[in-house]
Structure 1
């Protein structure tokens, strides 16, 4: 599971959409961290940042120097357009995803989607997550073999997303398949959330239509809050615009947690002494191991910002209109932050983590994600004394963004 292939040092180039990078970015990250911490990608007029501290500091700047006007995950065809100076916020209508806006629109729409994800609210979800995990295991364990990412973690996470947005839970398999398909990318193109929106919005727009008709009384908090929301000019969101604002929950909640959970169970199995240590006290030790699992295997590779004011780092000044991509997955393997970062160490002391981002755009669902990962690993290990991963059949499709194990077949 670690990367062994080293790219040729001579004439080193890095491009997140390069087929070799998409197939295995880790060797490129090491060279970037060591030799090119502020790497200019001429083709996209974009700088790649690869070291933990640099990314932490840049993402912590919330004064409007960095904005997401072109999206937090712009595709190649967006980056191919060179900007002549600072980029304005998008027009209010038709309103794109709120992460594309600076304050105050970004924070205010985010608040509409956040009530179920607050740190005080999330512990109340534990029983629901545990029930879903055990219902899945009741169905899967008698089969003897199944897919850890899709059949177990994927269905549990997608079921929770259905709960959050107001969809029937029996749609969870369809939601999971739709989101997975939206993350696949052809080399040279990358993933742009907008490309998959018609498929996503076929689930989300009817929720808004229904809630508007039913009176949006707050019983479906995200949809109802978006219907009530007013933009600074006093206008409301139409059905499709409100549905677009739900994409963060719909995609983020479905895709990442299953890959982290499944890869974590695989990593523990690869280190029997560590698995035994974690099993010794699942309640106490799984939350500790979870943080190392997230650091080691979180699949999100990078997020972008567009520079609105000049910013200087390591002697390089980035000018308004140019972009920065923060390589979160590189930061997770930075020797300057973690000792022997390519090793999996279940109880590694972790003071800081960038896997969920940092600053203004910190992951909305971080507390739910941590709880889901913890409970799914605990319940699996409680009920499965021995298991085996079919490593030859595991698959990790190339992606410029979600470079994670889509399939991890397990025998129990």
Structure 2
């Protein structure tokens, strides 16, 4: 995780299906293979052990298919197969659909400029945390019904959760108590108020009924909000900040983008996402045998999709280690694919676009303090938590 790219190249070239015996898990590294596996909809691959299972989960070998978890206490809904997964996801996704996301333009632009009003006079600040992080966390507060003044606190809580050491893994599905200390009170307040739809996400979860007719408890409903709480806060700031860094490192490309920020930033954004999206992998567990490259994977075994390796696969992207702002991109795996495709993709793209546009509109010249930039250890992300900029 200190520098995964050379390892990914070896895997793609020599071991496209790499078996990790102690975890009974296969790693896939090529774009087309991952695209096909994640796009499979016949129930062969499920997330019943989590999309980000910890080492403790992977060390336990299965002797056959793994069923869905019990309904109660209900874990994060991504652990379930159809139809529970889709039905719970609908409770949290309404505000992130294309038409609803498009209406957020003015709000995001206002937040970006309010941050720049405060930050630019300082002359030096952190692109990831002070700029992108606060804007993204404020939007998450809007979505969930948290006071916006909590945005810095929410951002710090999420950041701390990803600083895991080797072997610890990521426990998104079970969540850390710090997350639920923000989310459970939202559910409690909305239940007491009657859950009349004023808070779309919380109220939909309170009114949701499982196939057996039971409702979600406060903790169970709060757990289903984790996708918004974490996903909306973690990735967008890193992509925005790293994108501004990549453009600065290629002055000719930055100049070309500046010629028309409205038209060119959305194009550059896709290459930035491909080149530097911080999430490295997601996992599935097999329920049926599956053959790939002459290897048959058995029910109960796991497959880890190395998304970041796929983003550098020369079979999909010519000269993939070069940053090319207007590279034609037909397919992208950075937001996932298939059943678990990121529900916040439209809002994420809009946030990255607007924050980069507003920064470049107002900042004619800037410098990244590369020696002070930091990429702390993580078992899941390879992203820059701190990118100091001087303007």
- Could you tell me how far 1:193 is from its partner in structure 2? 1.5
User: 1:23 is matched with which residue?
Assistant: 2
Q: Tell me, yes or no, if structure 1 residue 192 matches structure 2 residue 171.
A: yes
- Is 2:288 the partner of 1:309? yes
- Deviation string, structure 1 residues 282-323 (Cα, Å, up to 9, x no partner): 000000000000000100000000000000000100000000
1:91-139 CA-partner distances (Å, limit 9, x unpaired): 0000000000000000000000000000111110000000000000000
2:106 to 127, 132, 142: 127
Provide the TM-score with structure 2 as the length reference.
0.99
Would you identify which runs of 4 or more consecutive aligned residues in structure 1 move more than 3 Å? Answer: none
Q: Would you say how many aligned residue pairs link Structure 1 and Structure 2?
A: 391
Q: What is residue 66 of structure 1 aligned with on the other side?
A: 45
Q: What residue is the counterpart of 1:334 in the other structure?
A: 313
Q: Cα distance, 1:188 vs. partner?
A: 2.0
Contact 2:175 2:223 in 1 (8 A): no
Hey, what's the Cα distance between the residues in 2 that align with 1:197 and 1:220? 24
1:75 partnered with 2:54: yes
Matched position secondary structure for 1:121: helix
2:261 to 282, 287, 307: 282
**Paired residue for 1:6?**
none
Confirm whether residue 260 of structure 1 aligns to residue 239 of structure 2: yes
Larger displacement relative to structure 2 (181-190 or 289-298)? 181-190
What's the secondary structure of 1:40's corresponding residue? strand
Residue matched to 1:3:
none
Which structure 2 segments of 5+ residues have no match?
A: none
* 2:303 equivalent in structure 1: 324
- Give the secondary-structure state (helix, strand or coil) at the position aligned to 1:113: helix
Quote the Cα distance in structure 2 between the aligned partners of 1:129 and 1:242: 27
Measure the CA separation in 1 of the matches of 2:36 and 2:145: 37
Q: Deviations over 1:185-238 (max 9, x none)?
A: 111222222565200000000000000001111111000000000000000000
1 CA distance for matches of 2:168 and 2:214?
Answer: 35
- Secondary structure of residue in 2 paired with 1:120: helix
- Is 2:362 aligned against 1:362? no
| 2:34 is equivalent to residue 55 of structure 1 | yes
Cα distance in 1 for residues equivalent to 2:2 and 2:24: 23
CA RMSD of aligned residues (A): 0.7
State yes or no: 1:396 paired with 2:375. Answer: yes
Partner of 2:228: 249
Q: Which moved more, 1:279-288 or 1:179-188?
A: 179-188
SS of match in other structure, 2:291: strand
Checking the alignment, whether the CA contact within 8 Å between 2:267 and 2:326 is kept in structure 1 is yes
- Shift of residue 25, structure 1, vs aligned partner: 1.0
Question: Is residue 202 of structure 1 aligned with residue 206 of structure 2?
Answer: no
Does the 8 A contact of 1:208 with 1:227 survive in 2?
A: yes
Where do residues 364-379 of structure 1 align in structure 2 (5 Å cutoff)?
364-379=343-358
Q: Is the 8 A contact 1:23 1:399 kept in 2?
A: no
Structure 1 contact 263–405 (Cα < 8 Å) conserved: yes
Query: Corresponding residue for 1:113?
Result: 92
Q: Provide TM-score, normalisation by structure 1.
A: 0.94
SS in 2 for 1:111: helix
